[in-house]
Amino acid sequence: MRKNTALLTLIGAAISLSIGACSAKPDEATCTKLGEKYYELEKDNVPDPSLAEGEKARYTDDCKGGKYTKAQTDCALGAADGAAFEKCFAGA
């Protein structure tokens, strides 16, 4: 009986770890980089740089609030332009 309980505990822990890895959230430093990346890509493409600043803050705050996954932020940090950046968050 004790062996079964220990085995079930180990299986439960393994499942929890695998689920956690799939839905990993980015850390605060990554979220800050995300906002900065957006600003760098878009600051010259908008009529008023304050618009890019506002979106920078929104992406950073949404990220820190847990709205995005690590996979989404990794995608965006590798984006070559604003369209590719925003595509990483389609449906978010």
pLDDT tens across the length of the chain (92 residues): 556 554 444 454 445 444 444 569 999 999 999 999 999 999 999 899 899 999 999 999 999 999 999 999 999 999 999 999 999 999 76
pLDDT reported for residue 2 = 57
pLDDT of residue 14: 44
For the chain, which residues make up each domain, given as ranges? 25-87
Structure letter (DSSP) for residue 1: -
- What per-residue confidence (pLDDT) applies to 36? 97
Alpha-carbon gap, residue 69 to 20, rounded angstroms:
11
DSSP per residue, 39-88: HHHHTTSSSSHHHHHHHHHHHHHHHHTT-S-HHHHHHHHT-SSHHHHHHT
